[in-house]
Amino acid sequence: MKIDKFLIAPIKSGQQTNVKPWLIMDDAFENLQNAYTWRGTVRKRFGTNLMNESKAAPFDQLFSRFRINIGMTDGAGNFGPAVITPVITFIPGQMFSVDNEVLTVNQLGVPAPLLTTGLSVSTFDTTMGILTIRGSIPNEDIFFYPALPVMGFGSYEVSDVSDELLFGFDTAFAYMFDYNTGWNQVTGGAGNNQWTGSDSDFFWTTNYRGADSSDFLLFITNNIIADGFRYWDGANFTQLGTAATTPFDTVPNFIVTAKIIVPFKNRLILMNVTENVGGQNINIANRIRWSQNGSPVSADAWLQFPVTGKGGFLEAPTKQAIISCAFMKDRLIVFFELSTWELVYTGNTALPFTFQKLNDELGVESSNSIIGFDRSALGFGSTGIHSCNGLNVQRVDGAIPDTIFEVSNDSNGPQRVAGIRDYFTEVAYWAYNSIDAQTSFNDVYPNRVLVFDYVNKTWAYNDDSFTAFGLFFLQQDFTWDDLDVTWQNSQITWKDGSIQNKFRSVITGNQQGWTSVVNRDESTNCFSLYITNIVVAGNIVTITCIDHNLADDSYIFIDNIVSDDNMGAPGVINGLIWQVTATSYTTFTIDVGIVAVRGNYLGGGTISRVSQIVIDTKQYNFYATVGAIISLNKVSFFVDRTTTGQIMVTDYSSSSSQTNEGYVLETTPYANIAYEVDQDKFWHNLYFNSYGETVQLRLSLSQAQMMSTDAAFADFQLNAMLFNTSQANNF
């Protein structure tokens, strides 16, 4: 029988769902989950690192969480009893740390004992906020971890190149990151150190001048009336949400807050504003306001007519709300709910701006979904992922047309979409809550990341829970000893830009106040969830993890558990991968089998997600044009070498959902082929006995492989596939 060979390379088409799987491109995929096409290959999804890998584990994870310094222990390691400030709602899942000792709030009460990984005896009154510590580490800072969702990042620009200071926000506080102290609350300015938004009220920041053109100010808004909008001058927050617009009235009108703040044409622009008019707060969603040409923080900077040349306002000729905006060279594109406009500069001092319609059908629903490019801006609309090039607006997600309709509308789903551009990898990411990935207890926070290779215009998906993205300039050169990874599980090279000083990285935040750095060459996810409590009943272990957002049957890696018996020993729960069953928003269970887990949980336990690769190829029939059945004999896979990696390959015949026998594709060198040890890539063959109208391959880790750290943590890169087939009977 004649054997025909068909090479699938380079692989660059990504996921395609706009036609049936047998009609997609030969190098496209019906499903591409936790993997993506990049520069002609299919590779495992990006991994993440903690914010400061130079700190020793498990101390390093404390530097990646939003936290507040509340004081210091005395020479005997004692503190309080004292009311901790700032005061918020105290709940289980929050914690304190004293150096590397972790104190966990796991119950409500007055006063309730804290779980402790050290020697202290500590209590916390969750009603009054009273903390008492006895016998901890002497003369050390005490940090409080609010465990609130990350609601945005912003860079405060200073004079030095690439030395921007990284701000982070949760629902109540602002933080700044420092390599020596980690995240810590930023304070300054009486009454301006706390915010009151919900977990769907995200922050918008921008940098602009102050009273003098040489001043650097960071303007901040979360569009909450009680919070107004503020600016940071390097020492204090100042409330600008009472900027007067009509000083000559008996009761002057003033600006309260705005959804968007951007600088444009030497003025600060507010969009979708809320104003106090005659003593009442009124939201005017289609209005923009501008400051004077010059200082936006002067007392008269926002005055409107009859003070010519100061501030002013303009309402778009539509009742739709302004949702977001993006710059395109020297142009400002404004996105409404169902339309897109340009804010045009007129040069007229009295009326410097006007609106010009670009599209009256396509707009944007998600404020933080906008990603700007040199020639276009992309964002999530109600009918597609829309691209505006300054002349027109059109959908760009034609290959995956149904994805946009999977964005959950419950729990303010469209508001939770967050986007970012990764310049290093040349891809864009959007985190969103997909109804396709939802189960009973992960329907609030984002549960999926859409990956867009904007060079090759291809798509893929990751299973992640990120509430916000940002950009971060590394502030030190890393050595290999600084990185909390092993050689076999990392694709990082010594000259890799991602570990060099001043490198601009994508960072993420999640629903528990954790942050991390995206790294395309890291094959694992860093810790991103904290364990509040553990209860053992036979072989079932119930883990309390506030707002875990995990789906049933997902996989996690657990480590750093401290207990008074074998529960915290390596290989019992610590250092292993587990499959979860969600039982509530705050709890899930794992089955430890015949292992006897003993002892009481004392805290410290951390969780990282373990991503399961699922790659479904096209339904192939290279003889369809002659009406013949295909017989699949062998497939050669051109893979990158790993130290411990492997993946399962199963085949489907005639578009049936029934799989045939699975085969293990090893990405490690074969023991009987000595020269493979020195190769970066090699061809490995698998032999099949498939016969049908079409044949399709699935590359995925089996349950056994997912439970193995060797296989689950290994990298995977597929460079090509060579199909060996023959023509069989006619249809």
**Secondary structure of 18-52 in HEC code, one letter for each residue:** CCCCCCCCCCEEEEEECEEEECCEEEECCEEECCC
Q: Which of 169, 266, 263 is nearest to 224 (CA)?
A: 169
Q: Count other C-beta atoms under 10 Å from residue 696's C-beta.
A: 24
pLDDT at 501: 61
Structure tokens at 726: 């023959």
Partner residues linked to 334 by β-bridges:
325, 341
From CA 264, how far away is CA 332, in angstroms rounded? 8
Residue position matching structure tokens 């992309």: 378
**pLDDT score for 494:** 46
Q: Output the pLDDT for position 657.
A: 80
Nearest to 453 by CA among 29, 146, 20: 29
Return the half-sphere exposure (C-beta side, CA atoms, 13 A cut-off) of residue 562.
15
Instruction: Please name the residue that has the structure tokens 């390959």.
Output: 649
What pLDDT is attached to residue 682?
97
DSSP letters for 560-596 = --EESSGGGSBTTTBTEEEE-EE-SSSEEEEE-TT--
Contact 571, 559 (CB under 8 A): no
Q: 272's torsion region: left (phi>0), alpha (psi -120 to 50) or beta?
A: left
The pLDDT of residue 493: 53
What does the pLDDT read at residue 162? 56
Q: How far is CA 36 from CA 272, 625, 644, 661, 684, in A?
A: 37, 30, 21, 25, 21
Tell me the C-alpha distance between 175 and 181, whole Å: 12
Q: What is the pLDDT of residue 416?
A: 97
Cβ(470)–Cβ(153) below 8 Å: yes
Q: Cα separation of 385 and 373, whole Å? A: 14
**Any idea which residue has 């990764």 for tokens?**
422
Per-block mean pLDDT, blocks of 10 residues, the chain (731 long): 93 96 97 96 96 85 96 97 92 95 93 95 95 97 97 87 84 94 93 94 97 93 96 95 80 93 97 94 97 93 77 95 95 96 92 95 96 94 95 95 95 96 95 91 94 96 97 68 51 53 87 96 95 97 97 96 96 97 97 95 97 97 95 97 96 85 94 89 95 96 97 97 95 87
Contacts for 244-252: CB closer than 8 Å, 24+ residues apart? 244/299, 244/300, 244/302, 244/303, 245/275, 245/289, 245/302, 245/303, 245/304, 245/311, 245/313, 246/303, 246/304, 247/300, 247/303, 248/306, 251/278, 251/279
Asked if the bond preceding 138 is cis, omega within 30° of 0, the reply is no
Distance of CA 527 to the CA centre of its chain: 13
- The backbone region for 549, taken as left when phi is positive above 0, alpha when psi lies in -120 to 50, beta otherwise, is left
The predicted structure's pLDDT at residue 702: 96
Report the distance separating Cα 563 and Cα 541, nearest Å.
14
